[in-house]
Structure 1
Amino acid sequence: MKFLLAFQVLFVFGIWIVPSLTQKPWDSVARTEQWWIERHQQFIASSANLGSDIKIVFLGSSLVEYWGTQGKPVWDANYAPLGAINYGIGGDRTEHVIWRIDNGELDGLTPKLVVLYVGSNNVPVNSNNDEIVRGVNTVVDRLHAKLPNTNILLVATFPRADQSDVPGTLRRIRDIDQKLEALVGGDAQRKGNFIDLFWFLAPSSLDRIYEHLYVADKLHLNLDGYTMWHREMNSTFHRLIQ
C-alpha cells in the first residue's frame, strides 16, 4: 500500500503533480506552492493583456527574476524600453519551466527573442549531468515548438559557490555548459543560440567565484554582476532582435 501511495499522482490546487521521487529534469512538473501558482497565473495574464507589445521574454529561474531587483537599473535602462518582460521564478528547475511553457505563459506571443537561463537549480538536485543537459535541451525544444519564429538565446549556467564542494560544482557546471553549447549553439533549425559568461564570473582554476560580482549567498549576482551580464550579452542580444 505504501509503495502504491509513493507513486500515486496527486491533484493539488487543480494541477496534476507527479511526486518528486519520479521526476526527471525533462518532465513537465508544476510546483505546489500557492505563491508559485499565483505567479504563473500572473504571467498568463500579462501575456494575454500585453500580447504583441511583448518583444522579448526573459525566462527561467531566480537569476532571471532578480533582473527586477539587483539588476533593475540595468533592466530599466536597456530592456524595458525594448518591450522585454521578465518571466523568472526563483527556485525553478527545468521541469518547472517546461510545465510553465506547456501551460499558457507564452500563449499568443510572437516575441523576437527569448533569453533563457535555467538548469542551475538542477545541479544540487540531479547528480547526473547528462540528465540536466537533457532537461535544458527539452526546454529549448518546448520553446521552439511554442514559438517557432522566435530566436532563443540560452545563457550558460553561471558559477555558484553556495555548495560545500565548490571546485566539484564548478567542474560539473563546465561539463553541462559545454554539452549544451554543442546542442544549442548555432542550431538553425530551432533558432538556438548560446552565450557563455562563465569565465567572467570565475577563474580558470575553478576553485572559487569572483565574489565582487555576487551577493552574500554566492549564488545570485549583484548590480555589478548584472551590469557585466548586459555588457557581454549586448552585441549578441541586439543581433537577435533585428
Structure 2
Amino acid sequence: MKFLLAFQTLFVLGIWIVPTLAQNPWTPQIRNEQWLFFSRKLANEGRPVWEANYAPLGAINYGLGGIELSMFCGVLQTVVVVYIGSNNVPVNTVDDIVRGVNTVVDKIHEKLPNTNILLVGTFPRADQPDLSGTLRKIRDIDEKLEALVGGDTQRRGHFFDLFWFLAPSSLDRIYEHLYVGDKLHLNTDGYQVWQRER
C-alpha cells in the first residue's frame, strides 16, 4: 500500500548515527551545529526527486546525525518520515539496532503524539566485505522493526519496506544501477524507485 505524504510533512533522514562501538544506539548523542543541516544531503542525486515531489507539499528535510529530539517540540506535522540505522549495521547487533530505532520512534511519538510516523526500512548496502551476511542482517532488522512499528496504532506507526526493489531475493547482490559508486547511497534512479513505490 502506498503511503501518501500530506501537506506540511516533516521528512527526517538518517538520524541516530552512532560513531563508535563504545556507544549504544539508544542513547542520544550530543552534536554541535555542524551536524544539523537541512539540504546538504539533497545537494546530490536525490534533489530532483525531492524538488519535484516533496518540496511542493511543504515538506521539510532534516538530514541529521545523532540528534537530540528536543528540536521537534512545537512543530505541527502530519507525518514524520524516518530513515534510520543504516550506519549502525556494520558496528551494532541486530537487537541493539532494533532497540535504538524503537527508542527514536518512542521519542518522536512523545514529542509529536498526534503525528503519524512512517519508518522506512533499511536499504540494502554492498559496502561491507560479507555482502550476503550484511543483507541478511538488514532483513532481520527490518522484519523485527516492521513487527514493532508497522500498524502500531498507539504510536501511529507505519512501516515502508523498499528492500526487494533494491536487491534480489537471492541476497547475493544489490541492484547496483540504483546506487552511486559507494554502493550505499541511492542515485537518482534509486530515488525514483522510492518515489514510485511510496
TM over 0.5: yes
1:165 aligns with 2:130: yes
Partner of 1:30: 30
How far apart are the structure 2 equivalents of 1:39 and 1:24? 19
Partner of 2:53: 78
What is the count of residue pairs matched by the alignment?
180
Q: Describe the superposition over 1:46-87 as per-residue Cα deviations: whole angstroms up to 9, x where unpaired.
A: xxxxxxxxxxxxxxxxxx964442111111111001111110
Q: 5 Å matches for 1:93-242?
A: 96-97=66-67, 99=68, 101-102=69-70, 104=71, 106-126=72-92, 128-233=93-198
TM-score, normalisation: structure 2:
0.85
Higher RCO (CA < 8 A, seq sep 6+):
2
- Can you give the 5+ residue segments of structure 2 that lack an aligned partner in the other structure? 1-18
CA contact (8 A) 1:170 1:206 kept: yes
Q: Deviations over 1:30-53 (max 9, x none)?
A: 24xxxx52343x66xxxxxxxxxx
Secondary structure at 1:188's aligned position in 2?
coil
Cα distance in 2 for partners of 1:22, 1:189 equals 33
Work out the CA distance in 2 between the residues paired with 1:189 and 1:68: 36
Q: Which has the higher helix share?
A: 1
Distance across 1 between alignment mates of 2:182 and 2:140: 23
Could you tell me which runs of 5 or more consecutive residues in structure 1 were left unpaired when the two chains were aligned.
Answer: 1-18, 44-63, 234-242
Runs of 4+ in structure 1 displaced over 3 angstroms?
19-22, 64-68
* TM-score normalized with structure 1 length: 0.70
Q: Does the 8 Å contact 1:65/1:86 carry over to 2?
A: no
- Tell me how far apart the structure 2 counterparts of residues 209 and 107 of structure 1 sit (CA, whole Å): 38
How far does residue 156 in structure 1 lie from its aligned partner after superposition? 0.2
RMSD of aligned Cα (Å): 1.8
CA distance 1:185–1:65, change in 2 (3 Å): farther
For the 8 Å contact 1:215–1:222, the answer to whether it is kept is: yes
- Pick closer, same or farther for the CA change 1:65–1:221 going to 2, 3 Å: farther
Identity of aligned residues (%): 66
